[in-house]
Structure 1
Amino acid sequence: MTSTDENRYINRELSWLQFNARVLQEAADETVPLIERFRFLGIFSNNLDEFFRVRYATVRRIVDAGKRGRKALGVYSAEELLEKITEIVINQQTESLKILDDIYLKLQEENIYMVDETTVVLDEHKDFIKTFFAEQVALAVETIILREDVSLPRIQDLDAYLMVKMVLKDSEKPLYALLEIPSSVDRFIVLPKVDGKNYIMILDDLIRYNLDTIFNIFDYSSITAHMIKITRDAELDIESDLGKSFLEKLTRSVKGREDGEPVRFVYDKTIEKKTLDFLLKKLGIERIDSIIPGGKYHNRKDYMNFPTLGRKELYYENVKPLPISGISLEDSLFSKVAQKDFLQYTPYQSFSYTIKFLREAALDPKVRSIKITIYRLAKISSIASALINAAQNGKEVTVQIELRARFDEESNMRYAKKMQNEGVRLIFGVPGLKVHSKVCVIEREEDDKIKRYGFISTGNFNHSTARIYTDYTLFTADKEILKDLSKLFNFFDANYVVNKYKHLVVSPHYSRDKMYKLITEQMIISRSGGNGLIRLKLNSISNYQIIDKLYEASAAGVKIQMIVRGVCCLIPGVKGLSENIEVISIIDKFLEHPRVYIFGEEGTEKVFISSSDWMSRNLDSRVEVSVPIYDKDVKQEIIDTHTISWNDNVKARILNKSMDNRYKRDDNPKVRSQFAAYDYYVEKLKKS
Structure 2
Amino acid sequence: MLQQGIYYPKELSWLSFNERVLQEAADKKNPIVERIRFLGIFSSNMDEFYRVRVAEVKRQIYLCMDKGDEDGAELTMALMEQIQHKVVSMTDDFDRIYKDVVARLARYNVFLITKDQLDDYQRDWLRDYFKNKILRHIAPILLDSKVDLLSRLNDSATYLYVAIYRNERISKFATIEIPTTAMSRFVVIPPQKSRKKKHIILLDDIIRQFIEDIFRGFVKFDHIEAYSFKMTRDSEYSINDEIDESYVEKMSESMKQRLIAEPVRVIHDVEMPEEMLKNLKRRLKITSLDTLIAGGAYRNFKDFIGFPNVGRDYLENTPLPAINSSQFASFDTVFDAIGHSDILLYYPYHRFLHFTEFVRQAAFDPSVKHIRMNIYRVADKSRIINSLIDAVDNGKTVTVVVELRARFDEEANIEWSKKMTDAGIRVVLGSPSFKIHSKLCVVSREENGELINYAHFGTGNFNEKTAKIYTDFSLFTRNQELAQEAISVFELIQLPYRRPKFQHLQVSPLNARTKIQLLMRQEIQNYNEGLPAMITLKVNNLVDKELIDDLYRVSQAGVKVRAIVRGMCSLVPAIKGLSENISIISIVDRFLEHPRVMIFESAGQKKVFISSADWMTRNMDNRIEVGCPVFDEVLKQRIIDIMELQFRDTLKARVIDKDQINRYVKRGNRKKLRSQEEIYAYLKRLE
Deviation at 1:440, TM superposition (A): 1.1
Match of 2:572 in 1: 571
Q: 2:28 aligns with which of 27, 30, 37?
A: 30
Instruction: Look up the match of 2:638.
Output: 637
Distance, in Å, in 2 between the alignment partners of 1:298 and 1:4 is: 32
Give the Cα–Cα distance (whole angstroms) in 2 for the partners of residues 220 and 260 of structure 1.
34
1:233 maps to which residue? 234
In structure 1, the partner of 2:125 is 128
Matched, 1:386 2:384: no
User: Which deviations, in whole Å up to 9, do the C-alpha atoms of 1:564-617 show, x marking residues without a partner?
Assistant: 000000001111110110000000000000000000079421000000111001
Q: Which residue of 2 aligns with 1:677?
A: 679
* Structure-1 residue corresponding to 2:661: 660
Question: Helix, strand or coil for the counterpart of 1:118?
Answer: helix
Residues 539 and 593 in structure 1, CA contact (< 8 A), matched pair in contact too: yes
Distance 1:70 1:496, change over 3 A: farther
Find the counterpart in structure 2 of residue 348 from structure 1: 349
**Partner amino acid for 2:199?**
Y
Specify the alignment match of 1:490 in structure 2. 491
Measure the CA separation in 2 of the matches of 1:389 and 1:139: 40
Conserved in 2, the CA contact under 8 Å of 1:69 and 1:78? no
For residues 564 and 316 of structure 1, the distance between their equivalents in structure 2, rounded to whole angstroms, comes to 24
1:461 to 1:576, Cα distance in 2 relative to 1, 3 A: same
Q: Which amino acid aligns with 1:109?
A: R
**Which contiguous aligned blocks of 4+ residues in structure 1 show a shift greater than 6 angstroms?**
68-71, 73-76
| Counterpart contact for 2:263–2:284, Cα < 8 Å | no
Deviations 1:312-351 (A, max 9, x none): 1111112110012322187201012112101011000001
Report the equivalent of 1:58.
Answer: 56
Shift of 1:634: 0.9
Task: Give the corresponding residue for 1:438.
Answer: 439
Q: CA deviation at 1:26?
A: 0.4
SS at match of 2:265: strand
Code of the residue aligned with 1:650 in structure 2: it is L
Q: Distance in 1 between matches of 2:199 and 2:575?
A: 52
Query: How many Å separate the matches in 1 of 2:499 and 2:531?
Result: 37
Q: Using the alignment, how far apart are the partners of 2:625 and 2:271 within structure 1?
A: 48
Task: State the one-letter code of the partner of 1:83.
Answer: E
Q: Distance in 1 between matches of 2:655 and 2:453?
A: 43
CA apart distance, 1:507 = 0.7
Question: Residues 513 and 150 (structure 1 numbering): CA distance in 2 closer, same or farther, change over 3 Å?
Answer: closer
- On the 8 A contact 1:82/1:289 being kept in 2, the answer is no
Q: What residue number does 2:173 align with?
A: 176
* Percent of aligned pairs sharing the same letter: 40
1:515 corresponds to which residue? Answer: 516
Aligned partners of 1:625 and 1:275: how far apart in 2? 52
- Contact kept, 8 Å, 2:109 with 2:197, in 1: the verdict is yes
Spell out the pairing of 1:79-98 with structure 2 (5 A cutoff). 79-98=77-96
Aligned match of 1:206: 206
Which of the residues 7, 10, 28 maps onto 1:9?
7
Distance apart, 1:658 and its partner CA: 1.0
Rounded to whole Å, the distance in 2 between the matches of 1:18 and 1:224 is 37
Distance 2:385 2:293 in 1: 41
Instruction: Give the drift of 1:185.
Output: 2.1
CA–CA distance in structure 2, aligned partners of residues 493 and 523 of structure 1: 38
1:395 partner letter: K
Distance across 1 between alignment mates of 2:315 and 2:521: 49
Q: 1:215 to 1:179 in 2, by over 3 A?
A: same
Q: What's the CA shift for 1:164?
A: 1.6
- Whether the 8 Å CA contact 1:649–1:665 is kept in 2: the answer is yes
How many pairs are equivalent? 680
Alignment of 1:405-424 (within 5 A): 405-424=406-425
TM-superposed deviation, 1:219: 4.8
- Residue 635 of structure 1 aligns with an amino acid whose one-letter code is K
CA deviation map 1:455-505 (0-9, x unaligned):
100100111000000000100000111121121122122110111011111
Measured after TM superposition, the shift of residue 282 of structure 1 is 2.8
**1:215 corresponds to which letter in structure 2?**
F
CA–CA distance in 2 between the matches of 1:317 and 1:69? 56
Alignment of 1:138 with 2:135, yes or no, is yes
Equivalent-residue separation in structure 1 for 2:520 and 2:672 (angstroms):
32
Quote the offset at 1:257 in angstroms: 1.3
Alignment of 1:67-86 (within 5 A): 77-86=75-84
Amino acid of the structure 2 residue aligned with 1:597: M
Query: 1:243 maps to what in 2?
Result: 244
SS, match of residue 340 in structure 2:
coil
Mapped to 2, the partners of 1:626 and 1:475 lie a distance apart of 14
SS in 2 for 1:242: coil
Which deviates further from its counterpart, 182-191 or 340-349?
182-191
- Structure 2 CA distance for partners of 1:271 and 1:516, relative to 1, 3 Å: same
TM superposition score normalised by structure 2: 0.96
Secondary structure class of the residue paired with 1:597? strand
- Cα distance, 1:68 vs structure 2: 9.5
Q: Deviations over 1:220-239 (max 9, x none)?
A: 44432111111111112212
Distance in 2 separating the partners of 1:452 and 1:676 = 35
Structure 1 residues 168 and 5: alpha-carbon distance in aligned structure 2, compared to 1, 3 A threshold: closer
Q: Which moved more, 1:602-611 or 1:299-308?
A: 602-611
Distance, in Å, in 1 between the alignment partners of 2:335 and 2:18 is 42
Aligned to 1:628: 629
1:151 CA drift (Å) = 5.0
Q: Which amino acid aligns with 2:471?
A: T
Q: Determine the structure 1 residue equivalent to 2:297.
A: 296
TM normalised by structure 1 equals 0.96
Post-superposition offset of 1:430: 2.4
CA distance in 2, matches of 1:144, 1:502: 60
CA distance in 1, matches of 2:37, 2:133: 25
Cα distance between partner residues in 2 of 1:469 and 1:564 = 15
**Aligned residues of 1:647 and 1:673 also touching (Cα < 8 A):** yes
Tell me the secondary structure at the aligned position of residue 309 of structure 1. Answer: coil
| Separation (CA, whole Å) in 1 of partners of 2:563 and 2:173 | 54
Distance 1:142 1:121, change over 3 A: same
Aligned 1:277-288 pairs, distance under 5 A: 277-285=278-286, 288=289
Change (3 A) 1:645 1:70: farther
Contact 2:531 2:603 in 1 (8 A): no
